[in-house]
């Protein structure tokens, strides 16, 4: 027997609006699900445009895979644009998969789903409920809305037009509606129109539930999103810039909209049985409080700035936990979860995960490479479709009225080109959201080059460059943006500050950020997060904490603020508080592998090894190449949990994820590292150097360094240029090396007194003063500690081979040491060549008896 | 049983009309069944229907 599952979509529904209504008992039907099922936040995606998001929900895939990249698309002949259709979807949706598996399947109103697709049931497209412009038949349903077409009249009779609505429908939304002059104010018609459309969808859906057999149904309501775009600005508490009379008129619309949806939900719940799993979701939230945007930018898709990053998920039914909260759910998880609930295979190419935490029992789920590899024969979707021009115009007008698309230009080709650019921009953002930054950069560089006057393309390009640590390129784009009038200068300043943070110029970054602290509400939390980061790097934990406290007030749901709070607590060795903060951050943004890794580290410190291992396993699922996390988890399994099997499996995985190898020459400054680099260079090895630091009196044969090494703590992408080469990395930076490469480290060892003497001489040659009369005990201790940590790190790593080479041994017997080094390097270097670089006259520092340690 | 959004509405004639499940919005929430009932009842309650007539001004869309 097939499992029964119902998926209900409420576009833009937000727990922040719902929770007070639940508390007041004003959404009793949703309360049934909340109290008897599992709920949570549902993280949205970027860009947060509904047709892209609802397709990701239906397919479990990022937009760059599913092919829906905006509200409109170019016609096949390239001469016009039209609303995006179901024919543009490149991958299979959940209803296609379940129909093929003989589930009785019905879908109502999904976006985009026109033309209605053949399935093992009834499909009604998202153009069904749209108002008709036909003055003779206001309830007309356009062609292609219903499949099978034989049901056209059945559902056309259930369509409601706004003009059928009466005062009884409006007054719950606008109690003082009689004060509105409808000739000049469209508020009443707007509410009537949206309510009529929602009621139309409800009528069609309940008709199917009552008259048809079904295993899987899906229904989509867009009214909450539209109520909010029109009226959230009037929702209590009153915003200062909203006139009192307008607030008084429209303050109840959003609440009434939610309550109406709850009434509809109640009817639906009455029509299902206890064997049905019902899942209610939204694609994003909608800011209802101090985070409401006062002014929207004039750009395509501008209304999306009003959205919030978390929608809702609420599910109830057999096998679903009761009175439970899940964390880390995203839109991409819905399709895999439904497939798992129905005991159907999940495609490995789906980007989401199964929400196993919602299930009462573990399920064995079958995985296949991809449903795309299987040809579906029972119900074939159209691949091409043309709307008639009248219908197309009416639909375009509706999208323009909602503010999602700009009005058509007189020259149609301009509109075609603008829309193509918008969709390409969305594709780039989809790649970036999926972590495929190189693909995003390729698109954005072309967009920027073809459209030099559109600053948002440049801004996104700068964001991509920044994420890859390409600081010079980022700075160049910012400089170009500064020359142009950028409509959001604050965002530009934040980016500049972030750039300075990347360059470790924390004081300069703070100068910019402190000036932005009291500015735009929607950017405040990001500003406070960056301020906290700077103070943490500068060692000012008190001010960092102040910034984080302010950030929580600005936006308590900001995952980054809680993540940084966790880091701060972790540095303060308050692991309990750190764990709490990391869990909050993960609850808000599950897909942050660093948060899971730090959580694992804190739990490890507390001796909670099983939980630590669990957190690190999640890190490794997100970042399979993260050998740092893997190294810790091997220790946990081997030493603390006595799980030899898992330890061994991870050890093998570690080897599998090691890519590339390099030779590292390391040690304390003035320990002989330059000498060793010279020896290896003389022997013909490829040296990684930018030759920025020239040879000088202290080192006449050169330093063989590279500026990139200084950035190793925060940026590691440059290491891929080092494969097969020799890199000089000072010992205290060694633990920053990623453990996804093999390293042969030649660690130079020299007496600390000699090192210090050599450093002092070098400093003096540079013209700086040193206090020769004071024994620098603190410096010595720091040097010794740093060296010890580096060696301990190196000895612990499976992908590291370490060779300690004493500086004086090389001077005293260069051939013997060169032979050792050659063997260590698998005989890639000839010892007789190496020793040719050694000039005994250059190496003169010895331990002074005056500074001998006692 | 659906829950009403407002307990009472006042018609032009001054009569109180409970907006309960039998009320218009409640009936729409019931889906196809409620729609059918409402459309039939609408004609029967013509006098109270025009609490606030909705106009459709294309210039404002």
Are the beta carbons of A84 and A112 closer than 8 angstroms? yes
Which of A158-167, A413-422, A750-759, A764-773 shows the lowest per-residue confidence on average (mean pLDDT)? A764-773
Question: Which of A163-167, A272-276, A394-398, A798-802: highest mean pLDDT?
Answer: A272-276
Pick the residue from chain B with its C-alpha nearest to A205: B31
Q: What pTM, to 2 d.p., does this model score?
A: 0.77
In whole angstroms, give the CA distance from residue A593 to residue A559: 13
DSSP string, A698-732: TBTT-----GGGGGTTT--GGGGGGTTSEEE--GG
CB contact, 8 Å: B2 with chain A? yes
Q: Is the pLDDT of residue A771 over 90?
A: no
Q: Cite the beta strand spans of A109-236 per DSSP E.
A: 123-124, 146-147, 216-221
Interchain pair A263, B17: CB under 8 A: no
Nearest CB partner across the interface for A188, out of B34, B50, B54: B54
Note whether B53 contacts A171, CB cutoff 8 Å.
Answer: no
Q: What is the pLDDT of residues A546-594, one digit of tens each?
A: 999 999 998 888 999 999 999 999 999 999 999 999 988 988 887 788 9
Q: Given an 8 Å threshold on Cβ–Cβ distance, is A183 in contact with B53?
A: no
Separation CA A555–CA A521 (nearest Å): 9
Phi, psi dihedrals of residue A324, rounded to the nearest 5°? -130, 150
Mean pLDDT, range A417-446, rounded to an integer: 93
Q: At what angle do helices A223-231 and A187-211 cross, to 10 degrees?
A: 170
Give the model's pLDDT for residue A303: 81
Place of tokens 């580290």: A601
CB B48 within 8 A of CB B40: no
pLDDT band at A411 (very low <50, low <70, confident <90, very high): confident
Residues of A in contact with B55 (CB under 8 A): 182-183, 189
**pLDDT higher than 70, residue A655:** yes
**Looking at residues A404-420, what average pLDDT do you find?**
83
- Quote the crossing angle between the two packed helices A541-554 and A559-571, to the nearest 10°: 160
pLDDT at A680 over 80: yes
Assess A264–B contact: CB distance below 8 Å, yes or no. Answer: yes
List the single best residue of B10, B17, B18, B29 to mutate versus A (max A Cβ within 10 A).
Answer: B29
Asked if B61 lies within 8 A of A186 by C-beta distance, the reply is yes
Say what the pLDDT of residue A760 is: 73
> What is the model's pLDDT at position A844?
53
| pLDDT surpassing 50 at residue A836 | yes
> How many separate helices (H) and strands (E) can be counted in chain B?
3, 2
Structure tokens at A696: 């000088």
B22 pLDDT band (50/70/90 cuts)?
A: very low
Shortest Cα–Cα distance, B15 to chain A (Å)? 13
Q: How far apart, in whole angstroms, are the C-alpha atoms of residue A826 and residue A742?
A: 14
Question: Looking at chain A, which residue has its C-alpha nearest residue B30?
Answer: A267
Partners of residue B42 in chain A, C-beta under 8 Å = 166
In this prediction, residue A330 carries a pLDDT of 93
Residue of A nearest to B16 (CA): A168
Q: Would you place residue A521 in the very low, low, confident or very high pLDDT band (cuts 50, 70, 90)? A: low
Most confident of A277-291, A648-662, A679-693: A277-291
Confidence of residue A115 (pLDDT cuts 50, 70, 90): very high
Which chain B residues are within 8 Å of A210, Cβ to Cβ? 32-33
The whole-number pLDDT of residue B17 equals 45
Answer yes or no: do B3 and A184 touch at CB < 8 A: no
pLDDT at A304: 82
Listed in sequence order, the residues at least 6 apart from A91 whose beta carbon sits closer than 8 Å to its beta carbon are: A59, A61, A65, A66, A67, A371, A372
pLDDT of residue A2: 86
Give me the residue label for tokens 């460059």.
Answer: A465
Among B1, B4, B5, pick the best mutation site for testing chain A contact (most A Cβ within 10 A).
Answer: B5
Give A803 or A386, the one with higher predicted confidence. A803
Minimum-distance CB partner of B51 among A163, A166, A203: A166
Residue A15 predicted with pLDDT over 70 = yes
**Res. B12 pLDDT band, cuts 50 70 90:** very low
pLDDT at A353 > cutoff 50? yes
**SS3 of A353, please?**
coil
For residue B42, name the pLDDT band (cuts at 50, 70, 90).
low
- Pairing type for strands A276-281 and A310-316 reads antiparallel
> Do the Cβ atoms of A266 and B2 come within 8 Å?
yes
- For A360-370, write each residue's pLDDT tens digit: 998 889 999 99
**Interchain pair A169, B28: CB under 8 A:** yes
Give the pairing type, strands B8-10 and B16-18.
Answer: antiparallel
Give chain A's mean pLDDT.
88
**pLDDT given at position A520:** 59
Give the pLDDT of residue A636.
94
Contacts of B33 in chain A (CB under 8 A): 206, 210
pLDDT for residue A166: 82
Q: Which residues of A touch B28 (CB under 8 A)?
A: 160, 169, 195, 199, 202-203
Please judge whether A166 and B49 are an interchain contact, meaning their C-beta atoms are less than 8 angstroms apart: yes
Neighbours of A271 (CB within 10 A): 15
Q: Quick one: how many helices (H) and strands (E) in chain A?
A: 33, 19
Q: Are residues A336 and A346 in contact, defined by beta-carbon separation less than 8 angstroms?
A: yes
B28, B30, B50: which to substitute to probe chain A, counting the most A Cβ within 10 Å?
B28
- b/e map of A218-253 (b: 16 or more CB within 10 Å)? bbbbbbbbbbbbbbbbbbeeeeeebeeeebebbbbb
pLDDT reported for residue A775: 53
Segment A706-740, tens digit of pLDDT: 888 887 877 787 888 888 899 999 998 998 898 77
Q: Is A262 on the interface with B (CB under 8 A)?
A: yes
Q: Region A425-450: what's the mean pLDDT?
A: 93
The answer to whether residues A217 and A280 touch, using CB atoms and an 8 Å cutoff, is no
The rounded Cα A181 to chain-centroid distance in angstroms is 46
Per-position DSSP letters for A571-633, written without gaps between them: HTT-HHHHHHHHHHHHHH-S--HHHHHHHHHHHHHTT-HHHHHHHHHHHHHH-TT-HHHHHHH
C-alpha span between A111 and A113 (Å, rounded): 5
Is the Cβ pair B55, A182 closer than 8 Å? Answer: yes
d(CA A570, CA A565): 8
Q: State yes or no: pLDDT of B49 exceeds 50.
A: no
Inter-chain contact A203–B55, Cβ cutoff 8 Å? no
Q: CB under 8 Å to A23, separation ≥6 — which residues? A: none
Pair of tokens at residue A615: 């957190």
> In whole angstroms, what is the distance from residue A464 CA to residue A444 CA?
9
Q: Is any Cβ of chain A less than 8 angstroms from the Cβ of B19? A: yes
Q: In terms of Cα–Cα distance, which of A551, A606, A552 is closest to A577?
A: A606
Task: Give A604→chain B minimum CA distance, Å.
Answer: 51
In this complex, which of A28, A177, A183 lies closest to B3 when CB atoms are compared? A28
- Identify which of A385, A463, A469 has the alpha carbon closest to the alpha carbon of residue A431: A463
Q: Which residue has the higher pLDDT, A660 or B14?
A: A660
Say what the pLDDT of residue A449 is: 92
Q: Across-strand partners of A346?
A: A367
Taking a contact as any Cβ pair under 8 Å apart, which residues of chain A between 376 and 405 contact chain B? Answer: 397, 401
Whether A262 sits inside 8 A of B3 (CB atoms) is yes
CB A363 within 8 A of CB A356: yes
Whether the upstream peptide bond of residue A237 has omega within 30° of 0, thus cis, is yes
Name which of A166, A191, A201 to mutate to probe chain B: the one with the most chain B Cβ atoms within 10 A of its Cβ: A166
Is A166–B25 a contact, with Cβ atoms under 8 angstroms apart? no
H or E segment and range at residue A5: strand A4-10
Does the beta-carbon distance from B42 to A166 stay under 8 Å? yes
**Residue A395's pLDDT band (boundaries 50, 70, 90)?**
confident
């Amino acid at each position: 027997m097939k499992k029964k599952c119902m998926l209900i979509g409420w576009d833009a529904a937000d727990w922040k609006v719902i929770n007070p209504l639940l508390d007041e008992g004003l959404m009793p039907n949703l309360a049934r699900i909340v109290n008897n099922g599992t709920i949570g936040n549902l993280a949205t995606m970027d860009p947060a445009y509904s047709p892209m998001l609802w397709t990701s929900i239906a397919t479990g895939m990022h937009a760059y895979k599913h092919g829906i990249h905006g509200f409109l698309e170019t016609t096949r002949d390239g001469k016009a644009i039209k609303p995006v259709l179901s024919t543009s979807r490149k991958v299979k949706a959940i209803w296609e998969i379940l129909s093929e598996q003989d589930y009785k399947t019905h879908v109502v109103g999904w976006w985009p789903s026109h033309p209605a697709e053949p399935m093992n049931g009834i499909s009604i497209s998202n153009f069904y409920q749209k108002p008709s412009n036909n003055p003779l038949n206001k309830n007309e349903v356009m062609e292609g809305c219903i499949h099978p077409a034989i049901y056209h009249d059945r559902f056309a009779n259930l369509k409601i037009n706004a003009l059928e609505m009466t005062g009884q429908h409006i007054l719950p939304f606008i109690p003082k509606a009689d004060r509105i002059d409808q000739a000049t104010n469209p508020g009443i018609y707007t509410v009537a129109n949206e309510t009529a459309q929602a009621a139309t969808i409800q009528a069609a859906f309940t008709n199917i539930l009552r008259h048809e057999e079904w295993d899987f149904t899906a229904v989509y309501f867009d009214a909450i999103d539209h109520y909010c775009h029109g009226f959230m600005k009037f929702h209590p508490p009153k915003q200062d810039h909203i006139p009192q009379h307008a607030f008084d008129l429209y303050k109840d619309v959003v609440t009434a909209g939610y309550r109406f949806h709850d009434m509809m939900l109640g009817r639906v719940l009455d029509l299902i049985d206890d064997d049905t799993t019902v899942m209610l979701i939204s694609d994003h939230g909608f800011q209802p409080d101090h985070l409401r945007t006062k002014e929207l930018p004039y750009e395509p898709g501008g209304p999306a700035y009003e959205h919030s990053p978390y929608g809702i998920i609420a599910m109830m039914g057999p096998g679903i936990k009761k009175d439970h909260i899940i964390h880390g759910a995203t839109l991409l998880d819905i399709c895999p979860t439904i497939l798992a609930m129905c005991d159907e295979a999940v495609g490995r190419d789906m980007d989401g995960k199964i929400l196993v935490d919602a299930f009462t029992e573990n399920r064995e789920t079958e995985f296949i490479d991809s449903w795309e590899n299987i040809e579906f024969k029972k119900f074939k979707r159209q691949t091409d479709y043309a709307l008639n021009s009248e219908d197309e115009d009416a639909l375009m007008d509706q999208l323009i009225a909602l503010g999602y698309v700009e009005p058509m230009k007189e020259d149609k080709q301009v509109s075609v080109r603008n829309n193509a650019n918008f969709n390409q921009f969305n594709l780039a953002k989809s790649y970036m959201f999926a972590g495929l930054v190189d693909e995003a950069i390729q698109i954005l560089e072309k967009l920027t080059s073809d459209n030099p006057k559109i600053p948002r393309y440049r801004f996104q390009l700068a964001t991509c460059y920044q994420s890859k640590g390409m600081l010079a390129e980022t700075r160049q784009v910012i400089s170009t943006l500064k020359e142009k009038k950028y409509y959001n200068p604050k965002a530009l300043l934040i980016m500049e500050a972030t750039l300075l943070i990347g360059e470790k110029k924390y004081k300069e970054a703070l100068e910019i950020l402190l000036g932005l602290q009291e500015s735009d509400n929607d950017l405040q939390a990001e500003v406070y997060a960056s301020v906290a980061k700077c103070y943490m790097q500068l060692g000012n934990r008190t001010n960092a904490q102040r910034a984080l406290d302010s950030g929580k007030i600005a936006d308590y749901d900001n995952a980054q603020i809680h993540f940084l709070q966790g880091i701060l607590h972790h540095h303060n060795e308050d692991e309990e508080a750190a764990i709490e903060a990391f869990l909050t951050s993960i609850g808000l943004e599950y897909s942050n592998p660093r948060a899971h890794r730090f959580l694992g580290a804190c739990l490890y410190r507390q001796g909670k090894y099983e939980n630590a291992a669990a957190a690190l396993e999640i890190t490794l699922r997100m970042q399979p190449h993260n050998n740092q996390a893997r190294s810790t988890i091997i220790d946990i399994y081997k030493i603390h949990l006595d799980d030899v099997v898992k330890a061994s499996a991870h050890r093998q995985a570690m080897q599998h994820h090691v890519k590339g190898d390099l030779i590292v020459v390391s040690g304390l400054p003035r320990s002989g590292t330059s000498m060793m680099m010279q020896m290896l260079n003389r022997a013909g090895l490829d040296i990684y150097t930018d030759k920025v630091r020239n040879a000088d009196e202290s080192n006449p044969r050169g330093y063989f360094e590279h500026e990139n090494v200084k950035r190793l703590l925060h940026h590691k992408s440059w290491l891929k240029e080092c494969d097969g080469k020799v890199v000089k990395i000072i010992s205290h930076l060694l633990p920053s090396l990623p453990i996804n490469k093999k390293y042969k480290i030649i660690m130079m060892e020299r007496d600390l007194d000699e090192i210090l003497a050599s450093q002092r001489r070098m400093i003096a040659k540079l013209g700086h003063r040193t206090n020769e009369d004071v024994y620098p005990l603190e410096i010595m201790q720091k040097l010794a500690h740093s060296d010890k940590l580096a060696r301990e790190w190196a000895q612990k790593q499976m992908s590291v081979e370490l060779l300690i080479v004493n500086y004086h041994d090389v001077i005293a017997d260069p051939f013997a040491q060169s032979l050792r080094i050659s063997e260590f390097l698998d005989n890639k270097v000839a010892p007789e060549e190496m020793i040719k670089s050694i000039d005994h006259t250059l190496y003169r520092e010895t331990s002074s008896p005056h500074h001998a340690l006692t | 049983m659906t829950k009403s959004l407002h307990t009472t509405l006042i018609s032009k004639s001054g009569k109180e009309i409970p907006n309960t499940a039998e009320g218009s919005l409640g009936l729409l929430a019931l889906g196809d069944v409620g729609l059918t009932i409402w459309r039939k009842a609408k004609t029967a309650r013509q006098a109270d229907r025009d609490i606030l007539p909705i106009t459709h001004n294309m210039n404002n869309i």
